[in-house]
Chains A and B, each alone.
Chain A
Amino acid sequence: MPKTIIEKIWEQHIVYEEQGKPDLLYIDLHLLHEVTSPQAFEGLRMNGRKVRRPDLCFATMDHNVPTRNRDTIRDPISRLQIKTLQDNCDEFGVPLAGINHPDQGIVHVIGPELGLTQPGKTIVCGDSHTSTHGAFGALAFGIGTSEVEHVLSTQTLWQSKPKTMEIRIDGDLGFGVTSKDIILAIIAKFGIDMGTGHIVEYTGEAIRKLTMEQRMTICNMSIEAGARAGLISPDKTTVEYLRGRRHVPQGADFDKVAVQWLSLATDQDAKYDVSLSIHTDEISPFVTWGTNPAMGSGIAGHVPYSTDFEKQADRDALQQALAYMKLEEGTPLSSIAIQHVFIGSCTNARLGDLRAASQVVEGKKVHSSVTAIVVPGSESVKRAAEEEGLDKIFLEAGFEWRETGCSMCLAMNEDSVPAGERCASTSNRNFEGRQGAGAMTHLVSPVMAAAAAIEGHFTDIRKYMHESVPS
């Protein structure tokens, strides 16, 4: 019987199954960071338990780390959390890319860079954006701290088999449209909870033409549509991205494993529980206006009117969002002025993102009313960008060029947006207070964020592209 990649990976990882119970699944890679792991390690200590397979774990520090003055974490609680991860990794023998390590970075950026992320693996992390790794044809999902403890102790998880969902993206990527716009458009079209209880596979010709970095942006935000995980069947692009990376087999062994990886792709005629599709003709550069990622529209659009919604609950949700966002019904998105720009996060802080944004700002100046920062996704991204001179382009345009980390995506470190101010952000969540108490977040692609930094308000990036800026 033809199978989806989801079923293939699931079946390969069943350690134990019994009618009426979730399956006991083996976990191939466990990524850890400082925020969701301390209580799990503490649980091990309290029960006298060990980490079963430290060799299948990899830890880094990203949520709390400063992006300037790296060695001085002023907040003592942040400092303790960072130190706790260091101590726990030492005690339990877990490999760690610590704060000054050349491999340090956002956990979902470094996994793929190091070749730890591979097709067919089950990958977990105490972080909802673990879905990012699905871009490689891995089954990757976020877990809570109790589950982190369970995986540390047993290298397994009890999981009920989710339903499968296909989202097919037809057509070519339109002029000025990025993978960020694709995923924002999908969430806006199908809803913030359309994926609940499902693992999504993204298919279609538009997906096949994307680079691995662009695919990661899409899979990253699967959780913003409620999906348990999001993935893409591996192909030649996947294989070529991984070739030569540190943790993949080398030489002839690589070619052998690559054949296995490609065989994981969903079989022709395989059936999904749900199939949805969207055409790229429907997608234009996107801006969110509300307080969840589904509340957005193409740049030519406007904030909706109450009368656009039939249900009272939706009208109430609109009013709650607009009250927080200090916006009026009907406001054109291009008229919204911003005071901050954040280019960073596990969604959009890879080299391709920084290249695209730098091309928009090259030779221009950040608007006088805007503070703009670039936070590369990892030390490796930062080094590569600096080798190409991207740092200079950003600095000359008036951006700040920072050290790596999650930074202003969730503002756990010192980078936050002040109350009452507005940020064009390449991150993944525009929830109330996400970037700081009272701060207002608008989610956009890196090129849209770059253009907003120059103009001081949102603008259609396609206008810039007439000035020969490639996508």
Chain B
Amino acid sequence: MKPINKITSVMTPLDRKNVDTDQIISKEFLKRIERTGFGKYLFYHWRFNSDGTTVENFVLNDERYRGSEILVAQENFGCGSSREHAPWAIQDYGFNVVIAPSYADIFYNNCVKNGVLAIRLKGHEVDELIQKGKNELFKLEVNLEDQSVVAQDGTHYKFEMDPYWKEMLLKGWDEIALTFQYESLITAYEEKRH
């Protein structure tokens, strides 16, 4: 996993709550057996009409946000299916950071395991960012080490982060290699119970 710490980028405002993983990556793209190449299918049915033409007013089709690395959305982002293809698609498309008031548990875990930084800000802070991000191209500086987001107008936001997941993201650890250090404990547990 690639370490992540500081990201500075224009934000992409997605003003919707309860965005489910079926929308993030639709089932017809889950048949692939690779981890890569899902970016072009991100939000596919919101980006494209059934005849393949682009949906004009969808934010990802707005050229101005091209290259943005920060997606800002409303509460309960990533609900529904456990498909890890969702963060794979988000990352492969180019987003390294998601900001929302809350996330579904499995989606949040899946982000951490892939080095996607999912930040929780307060509801009114996200509302504020989304409004600003809709009005103009709005740049954010995300710093995981400091657990801060600094907006281009100088507004400073702090976020909470579990220290264990934080360290894993900062260092880009291979969690399985880490767990192998506890192998004798796992064996001892198995001898007792399994």
Q: Which residues of A contact B (CB under 8 A)?
A: 12, 15-16, 20-22, 24, 26, 28, 35-36, 38-39, 42, 47, 49, 52-53, 56, 63-64, 75, 77-78, 80-81, 84, 126-128, 141-147, 149-150, 153-156, 158, 160, 162, 192-193, 196-197, 223-224, 226, 228, 292, 313, 316-317, 320, 410-412, 419, 429, 431-434, 437-438
Contact = CB atoms under 8 A, between A and B. Distances in A.
Given A150-B176, A410-B22, 20 more contacts: A15-B182, A15-B186, A16-B182, A80-B31, A81-B33, A128-B82, A143-B106, A144-B109, A147-B109, A147-B113, A154-B180, A155-B190, A196-B105, A228-B105, A292-B20, A317-B17, A410-B81, A432-B23, A432-B45, A434-B27
Contacts of B18: 192-193, 292, 317
25 contacts: A20-B163, A39-B35, A63-B30, A77-B31, A78-B31, A80-B33, A81-B32, A127-B82, A143-B106, A144-B82, A145-B35, A145-B84, A149-B176, A154-B183, A156-B179, A156-B182, A160-B162, A192-B76, A192-B79, A226-B105, A292-B18, A317-B16, A410-B81, A431-B80, A432-B22
B53 interface: no
B75 to A, nearest CB: 7
Nearest to B193: A26
Interface residues of B, number: 52
Contacts of B179: 24, 150, 153-154, 156, 158
B32 A77 contact: yes
Contact of A153 (B15, B32, B162, B176): B176
A13 to B, nearest CB: 8
Contacts, number: 172
B79 A156 contact: no
Contacts of A146: 84, 110, 113-114, 175
B146 interface: no
Contacts of B15: 316
The 3 closest A-B pairs by CB, nearest first: A146-B113, A144-B84, A144-B110
Contacts of B84: 36, 39, 126, 144-146
B7 interface: no
B104 interface: yes
Interface string B155-170: 0000000111000000
A145 to B, nearest CB: 4
A348 B151 CA distance: 48
A84 B32 CA distance: 10
A155 B180 CA distance: 11
Interface in B121-177: 162-164, 175-176
Nearest to A15: B189
Interface of B: 15-18, 20, 22-23, 26-28, 30-35, 45, 50, 74-76, 79-84, 87, 102-106, 109-110, 113-114, 162-164, 175-176, 179-180, 182-183, 185-186, 189-190, 193-194
Nearest to B112: A146
A142 B106 contact: yes
Contacts of A419: 50
B105 A197 contact: yes
B33 A38 contact: yes
B45 A128 contact: no
A56 B186 CA distance: 14
Contacts of A36: 82-84
Q: Is the interface of A mostly helix, strand, loop or mixed?
A: loop
B45 A156 contact: no
A433 B22 contact: yes
A410 B28 CA distance: 9
B76 A196 contact: yes
B33 A39 contact: yes
B27 A128 contact: no
B25 to A, nearest CB: 11
A77 to B, nearest CB: 4
A437 B45 contact: yes
Contacts of A26: 186, 189-190, 193-194
Contacts of A35: 30-31, 83
Nearest to A141: B106
Nearest to B182: A16
B35 A412 contact: no
A274 B152 CA distance: 40
Given A144-B113, A197-B105, A431-B80, A24 B175 contact: no
A354 to B, nearest CB: 25
Given A26-B189, A160-B162, A196-B102, A126 B82 contact: yes
A154 B186 contact: yes
Of A81, A153, A193, A434, most buried by chain B (CB within 10 Å of CB) is A193
Contacts of A42: 33-35
Contacts of A224: 80
Contact of B33 (A53, A84, A197): A84
A462 B76 CA distance: 35
A142 B102 CA distance: 19
A154 B16 contact: no
Nearest to A12: B193
Contact of B31 (A28, A81, A141, A320): A81
Contacts of B106: 128, 141-144, 223
Nearest to A88: B33
B30 A412 contact: yes
**Of B23, B110, B186, B194, most A-chain CB atoms within 10 Å:** B186
Nearest to A406: B27
Contacts of B189: 15, 26
Contacts of B183: 154
A24 B175 CA distance: 12
A284 to B, nearest CB: 25
A113 B80 CA distance: 25
